[in-house]
Structure 1
Amino acid sequence: MDAETSKLIRRIAFWGIPLSLFVMGLKALAWYVTGSVALLSDALESTVNVIAAGLAYGVISYAQKPADEDHQFGHHKAEYLSAVAEGMLIIVAAILIVWEAAGHLTKPEPMDAPILGLVINGVAAIINAVWAWLLIKVGTQHHSPALKADGRHVLSDVVTSGGVIVGLIAATLTGYTILDPLMAIGVAINILFEGWKVISQSVNGLLDRAVTEEEDAAIKKAIAENAAGSLGVHDLRNRRAGPAVFIDFHLVVPESMPVGEAHDICDRIENALHEVISGASIAIHVEPEGETPHGVRVNIAAHRSLKKRA
């Protein structure tokens, strides 16, 4: 990841803090003017958004630190820890909402100034929708688990607000005030589901999950099309750690090939791989013909044949 991209990600993460505080203030105001427990539940979730935004900024800043003696492959995985923590915060928010709403099921109360409260909450939802779109777009484009997790969290908040607004409109029009706490519980169920998704996806990253199928195919194609002079490739592996990708494999060359020629092949392959995945960390083990092959093989001849037919 280049310096400009790193600055962009940090800057977006930082602005999430004041923005989440502003949205939380709007939702708290909506609850204050209406007394709605559903709007209170929405405001409670926004307090988690504030904590999550601060956590995301701190962890992204740490994850972008260069490799050092104690962390020789970098600090990239810190972003996954942030995403797991955020998923847990989402679940805590859901529990708080259920606790608050359960007490109002038997004694639902009518709302004060419902129209004003819904308008205020609607403005907060629109702000969150735009912000969630930006977070997810940048996080996906630059492989930032923390930004994507924050974006999904904010997006769940948008869904929550939409459900609350629809439910409260129904409660106001029908007079069934119990719809207010029922909607709050529905909100909590949706939040629990989102929290689980954030945690499960982040754990996969911590467990050294491989790159996507499309990226894997592009890696194999780049190797096959630039390995002329070698006899084959095996033991090909890759993994992603936040924005970083690690690729390593064995390159088989004729036993009589000079070291310089083998090195030229490695350089050619590395340049091609960097065009496919910018900034990838690549390790190539050169071995002479006659070694027993193992691991994942890349069929160089097949790739060349397909390229000629194309």
Structure 2
Amino acid sequence: MPQPSATSSIRLMAYMLLLALVLLGVKFGAFFLTRSNAILTDALESIINFVTGGVALYSVYLAAKPKDQDHPYGHGKIEFLSSGLEGTLIAIAGIGIIGKSVYNLVYPQTIARIDTGMYLTFLTGGANYLAGRYLVRHGTRHSSVTLIANGKHLLSDAYSSLGLIIGLACIYFTDLLWLDSVVAIIFGSFITYTGYGLVRNSISGVMDEADHQLIERIIQVLNQRRRQNWIDLHNMRVIKYGSHLHIDCHLTLPWYFNLQESHKEVELFQETIEEELGDVVELFVHLDPCLPPLSCRLCTKSDCKVREHVFVDRVEWTLSNVIVNEKHAL
């Protein structure tokens, strides 16, 4: 059974799919009333919103499925593929919009009822803005790449609608019909760039590109909650599987700790990370014994009875020294 957070995400995406269908009808109604290329850009992007909303709904559902023998790390990677597909379709729509707008610069067409088009565009843009903000907030809370990508797409749609209204207002007050195609080209370019960004992020996730911002966040928490027994930390790697995180690292503990004591430290180490990131963390820790007297120089353990060198200085864990597969030394 999916977790409660996953169930709420699936339900949310179903509502967003229904909203996309309603807004799609409103935007195409505005286009048929006005015959404006600029409004057509908004309507075509709504087709993408609806298609990608369906893909996002399926990917969120699939990502929520539990791990199995064929997918030992879960099904979360599907979210990156969903985000990539969404970005590709957005980019294609943007290129199509630019092409049609260039054609109508050469062969202009009549525009009608611009004021009605502006009202309808304002209505749909406001709805997309509110929906996008909620999706990004919900996706960030539950570490869902798909929800965040879909939310950012809706926000970009809302911002383009705002610019579109400004452009239509200029056409309305100046009667310069060529402005319609110019506005469409500008927003077609913006849409294409948005699609490229989503594809780029998707490829980064599939290729397990290091998320330095996330690793720095983890390191900051570990520095703040650092225990004396955690002598050193290095070779940290974080891999995303949808909303789940797989973390590998090497942790140096006192060489004389028995298995039970070492296991307790690993549990405390994991609890520290989970308090910051939630229970979506799968942690694999390789334990290293300290190496006297080298480790003694940076060890802050005050009750060590076998210390072979006086404490010199504590090594502050940073992104640059934690991701390297090398023990720290002074």
- TM interval, short-chain normalised: 0.7 to 0.9
User: 1:175–1:68: structure 2 CA closer, same or farther, 3 Å change rule?
Assistant: same
Distance 1:289 1:20 in 2: 58
Alignment of 1:95-174 (within 5 A): 95-174=95-174
Q: Structure 1-normalised TM-score?
A: 0.87
> What is aligned with 1:286?
287
Q: Secondary structure at the match of 1:136?
A: helix
Greater shift, 209-218 or 63-72, is seen at 209-218
> What is aligned with 1:308?
none
Structure 2 unaligned spans of 5+: 301-312, 317-330
CA contact 1:224–1:304 (8 Å) conserved in 2? no
Distance 2:290 2:126 in 1: 63
Distance 1:121 1:261 in 2: 63
Q: Please state if 1:178 is matched with 2:170.
A: no
Q: Aligned-pair distance for 1:92?
A: 0.9
User: 1:215–1:171: structure 2 CA closer, same or farther, 3 Å change rule?
Assistant: same
Q: Aligned-pair distance for 1:289?
A: 4.8
CA contact 1:253–1:287 (8 Å) conserved in 2? yes
CA contact 2:222–2:272 (8 Å) conserved in 1? no
Instruction: Tell me the amino acid that sits aligned with residue 133 of structure 2.
Output: W
Q: How many equivalent residue pairs? A: 297
Instruction: Tell me the amino acid that sits aligned with residue 286 of structure 1.
Output: L
Greater shift, 245-254 or 174-183, is seen at 245-254
User: 1:259–1:181: structure 2 CA closer, same or farther, 3 Å change rule?
Assistant: same
User: 1:286–1:217: structure 2 CA closer, same or farther, 3 Å change rule?
Assistant: closer
User: 1:121–1:233: structure 2 CA closer, same or farther, 3 Å change rule?
Assistant: closer
Instruction: Tell me the amino acid that sits aligned with residue 66 of structure 1.
Output: P
Distance 1:222 1:249 in 2: 18
Distance 1:266 1:51 in 2: 45
Q: Aligned-pair distance for 1:214?
A: 4.0
Q: Aligned-pair distance for 1:254?
A: 4.5
Q: Structure 2-normalised TM-score?
A: 0.82
User: 1:218–1:6: structure 2 CA closer, same or farther, 3 Å change rule?
Assistant: farther
Q: Please state if 1:216 is matched with 2:218.
A: yes
> What is aligned with 1:265?
265
Deviation per CA, 1:40-74, whole angstroms, max 9, x where unpaired? 22111111111011111111111111111111011
Q: Secondary structure at the match of 2:143?
A: coil
CA contact 1:222–1:269 (8 Å) conserved in 2? no
Deviation per CA, 1:195-239, whole angstroms, max 9, x where unpaired? 1111222222222223525423235326732x62x6544433323
Q: Secondary structure at the match of 1:103?
A: helix
User: 1:232–1:117: structure 2 CA closer, same or farther, 3 Å change rule?
Assistant: closer
CA contact 2:83–2:202 (8 Å) conserved in 1? yes
User: 1:269–1:28: structure 2 CA closer, same or farther, 3 Å change rule?
Assistant: same
Distance 1:16 1:147 in 2: 10
Distance 2:291 2:39 in 1: 71
User: 1:51–1:257: structure 2 CA closer, same or farther, 3 Å change rule?
Assistant: same
Q: Aligned-pair distance for 1:80?
A: 0.8
Alignment of 1:61-76 (within 5 A): 61-76=61-76
Deviation per CA, 1:214-267, whole angstroms, max 9, x where unpaired? 423235326732x62x65444333233332122222334455432222222222
Deviation per CA, 1:25-44, whole angstroms, max 9, x where unpaired? 11011111112121122111
> What is aligned with 2:6?
6
User: 1:288–1:217: structure 2 CA closer, same or farther, 3 Å change rule?
Assistant: closer
CA contact 1:42–1:161 (8 Å) conserved in 2? yes
CA contact 1:34–1:112 (8 Å) conserved in 2? yes
Distance 2:314 2:66 in 1: 37
Instruction: Tell me the amino acid that sits aligned with residue 46 of structure 2.
Output: S
Distance 2:81 2:193 in 1: 19
